[in-house]
Structure formats: C-alpha cells, structure tokens
Amino acid sequence: MKPAGYSKDEDLAREYAQAAYQYTTEDWLGELKRLWDQLESDPVLLDELADVGLPFSQRQARLDSLLSPDTRPDMRNYLSVLLRDGHLGLLDKVIADMTRLATRGPGAQVAHVVSAGPLTREEREAFRRRIHASYGSLMDLEFQIDASILGGVIIRVGDKVIDGSIAGKLEALHNRLVAIR
C-alpha cells in the first residue's frame, strides 16, 4: 500500500531519475575508476600525462590510448580538460568527491583533519562527534598526517580553517613579533 499522496507519476519520475543517475554518475565513476587504476599502477605514465611541458597532442594521444573505444564523448572532453590543465593527478580526489556526492547528495561536505601523527580510534571518533555536532551528520571526515605541523591539528571545512597546530602557533607568534619591531 502506497502512502497517501503517492502517485504513479512519482514512480515514473523515480525511474527516470534512476536512469539518468545510472547513465551519468555510475558510468562516469566506473570509467574514471578504471582509468585511475591504470594511472596509479604506472606512476611514470601519470607523471608523463601531468607534464604540461610536453605537447598537449602527445599527452592527449597517450590518454586516448588508455580509454576504451566506447568511452563517451563528454567523458573524453572532461578528461581532456583535466589533462590540458595538468590536473589528471587529482582524479582520485575527483572520484572520492563524486562518490560522496552520489551517495550523500550535494549537501555532503568534507572536514579535513590534519595531524602530525596518527590519531587513535577514540581521537578520530571524538573529532567526528564534535564536527557532526557543529556541522551536521552529512559531514564526512578525512584524516591526514603531516609531520610538518609538529603537533596539534588543523581542521578545514570548506574555506574555514581552524589551525591548532604547533607550526601555526609558532608562525602566529613570529608574525606578532615581526609586527612589534
């Protein structure tokens, strides 16, 4: 039994939406993942494709050789833009963001938590709780390690950055001392 107000039109709309989703997102993600697997397994090839000092036509021919003959024209154009701009190395991050958008919707955001060393499971969970309390449960977290921050953490959500790192505090102290002079 369907809920009140539920119509056959809504069923049809859902079917059309599912077809569009499959045609765009699933096909794109599958093709992008296949390409990234090839590039990730051959770092020399990835470096060659990212080298904007090489002629674009040479890099484009090399990229085309990696794609299946039935790769859609819109996908080829998209990859050509990444190639032209030297951003093909971002493909793994593009795939992660597309997957996030496809599963969580356009409201999903990412909080990047950078620490000087690995965080324990409890520390990660504590960050997750605090960030979800501040930004909502659609917020995904990505944890990264960067020893150059010396200690503490840096949290970035969109264009907001909370720098609680030792390196950040030392830089702020330095800037204040320079300003006093």
Both structure tokens of 50? 């990212």
What are the CA-CA distances from residue 177 to residues 149, 173, 174 (Å)? 20, 6, 5
What pTM did the predictor assign? 0.64
Dihedrals φ, ψ of 154, to 5°?
-125, 130
State the residue for tokens 């793994």.
Answer: 92
How far is the C-alpha of 123 from the C-alpha of 103, rounded, in Å?
26
Both structure tokens of 95? 């795939």
**Residue spans per domain, the chain:** 9-98, 107-180
The per-residue pLDDT for range 2-52, each reduced to its tens digit, is: 444 446 777 788 778 777 777 778 888 989 999 999 999 999 999 999 999
For position 7, what pLDDT does the model report? 64
Answer for the pair 134, 117: CB distance below 8 angstroms, yes or no: no
Mean pLDDT of the chain, nearest integer: 88
The per-residue pLDDT for range 47-83, each reduced to its tens digit, is: 999 999 999 999 999 999 999 999 989 999 999 999 9
Task: Please check whether the domain covering 107-180 is classified as CATH 3.40.30.
Answer: yes
Answer for the pair 145, 113: CB distance below 8 angstroms, yes or no: no
Answer for the pair 95, 39: CB distance below 8 angstroms, yes or no: no
Both structure tokens of 19? 């077809």
Q: In the beta sheet, which residues pair with residue 177?
A: none
For position 148, what pLDDT does the model report? 93
Higher-pLDDT residue of 6, 174: 174
For position 144, what pLDDT does the model report? 92
The per-residue pLDDT for range 99-147, each reduced to its tens digit, is: 887 777 777 788 999 999 999 999 999 999 999 999 888 788 999 999 9
